[in-house]
Structure 1
Amino acid sequence: MNIVPATREDVLGVANILSQWNAATPWMPRLHSRASEKYFARMLVERSWVHVARHDGRVLGFLARDNTMIHALYLSPAARGNGIGKALLDHAKTASGTLVLYTFVANEAAQRFYLREGFIEVARTGGQGNDEGLPDIRYEWRNSP
């Protein structure tokens, strides 16, 4: 597996992972069309925010980061539980001494993952700042000297 900057050829793989996660998550309202997911994936890649975990030409997962803000970290269903999310996060940690992200309160698996990876909870919202209107948690990670 390699972690590399995403290219235009990765857009469909990134969009597919987003779509699969949304479809498999019962508490997530389906607000965006498939075309909208593709547009979002293309926008993230074009901004050079995305690194992908790739194996044999297939995108297994991706992390989208703008400076310190992680906007997305998703894996294909088959890639979960294999250390790929940790590898993507570790890659981001080497690029920035501070990372910030939000995850939904309902996403308990993500909460456990981020806490295990050294993030701390710094705030909770009622969902006013996200499209879904779902309560979320702001996490931060700082590299300790």
Structure 2
Amino acid sequence: MPRIHTRAEDLAHAGALIARGWVTVAELEGAVAGFAAQDGKDLDALYVSAAMRGQGIGSQLLNRIKSGCEVIELWTFQANMLAQSFYLKHGFIELRRTDGADNDERLPDIRYQWKREAA
């Protein structure tokens, strides 16, 4: 993914997500392992540090979010095959693809949705 923002802008954005109360943090042995940011049904971000990947942290974060929602929607880039596989494995379906003209990065992306199954 191209860097389109400065580190200061990235930190300010993260601070705004935290200030809005959207962020759930995953810690492992006192260190931040990852986080998720959610606004209602929209999953704005799900990130696990490279050193912590493959340990189920992303799944735990996502499952925590799913436990409080009926529907979750998110965007991921078409080039991010690992994210696509992750979300499909967790029951998301593809809603649509775009050419990226409407996102900041100008990269083709995919809209996914998860719905809680009726009991």
What's the TM-score, normalizing by structure 1?
A: 0.80
User: 5+ unaligned residues in a row in structure 2: which ranges?
Assistant: none
Residue 8 (structure 2) aligns with: 35
> What letter is aligned with 1:69?
D
Over the matched positions of the two proteins, sequence identity in percent amounts to: 50
Q: Secondary structure at the match of 2:58?
A: helix
Alpha-carbon displacement from aligned partner over 1:48-88 (angstroms, at most 9, x marks no partner): 00001012321100000000000000111111010000000
What is the RMSD computed on CA atoms of the aligned residues? 0.7
Q: Secondary structure at the match of 1:72?
A: strand
> What letter is aligned with 1:63?
A
- After TM superposition, the runs of 4+ consecutive aligned structure 1 residues lying more than 2 A away are none
User: 5+ unaligned residues in a row in structure 1: which ranges?
Assistant: 1-27
> What letter is aligned with 2:22?
W
Residue 30 (structure 2) aligns with: 57
Q: Residue 133 of structure 1: which of 79, 103, 106 is its match? A: 106
What's the TM-score, normalizing by structure 2?
A: 0.97
How many pairs are equivalent? 118
Q: Secondary structure at the match of 2:110?
A: strand
Q: Which has the higher helix share?
A: 1
Structure 2 residue 87 is matched with structure 1 residue 114:
yes
